[in-house]
Amino acid sequence: MIKGINHIGIAVTDLEASIETFRKIFQFESVHREIVEDQKVEIASFKVGNVLIELTLPTSPESPIAKFIERNGGKGGLHHLAFETDNVEEELARIESEGIQLIDKKPRLGAHDMMIAFMHPKSTNGVLTEICQPK
């Protein structure tokens, strides 16, 4: 069952500058930083209400985030919406049975020690959509 929005992923080209820009807007104190080797990204995240904002910087030109930035004219921007579930495997099966195209047929480890999986934006009105579950 989908519980609600877990985080909003924003692709960035300068992590430090982006942290400072969003700090001015949201006045957060602490930032969680993490490198996710598998996805070739470094993230900085902070909470706004009950939702994480996840600033994501590519660490390699082969990163999906680097490719997104390249397709976006060298600029960052809204990359994905992530929704939390209690069982990512069951949700993947249910979503696929509804005819939604999946990028990930099986969950994989993501940031914040979450199990994650993505749906293809071709099936979700152009929005890269993620489901995630705390490990």
* 71-85 confidence digits (pLDDT tens): 999 999 999 999 999
Domains and CATH numbers, the chain: 10-74 (3.10.180.10), 80-135 (3.10.180.10)
Cα Rg, the chain, nearest whole Å = 15
CA distance 23 to 31: 10
By the 8 A CB rule, do 18 and 12 touch?
yes
Q: What is the pTM of this model?
A: 0.93
* 94-125 confidence digits (pLDDT tens): 999 999 999 999 999 999 999 999 999 999 99
Instruction: Grade residue 134 by pLDDT with cuts at 50, 70 and 90.
Output: very high
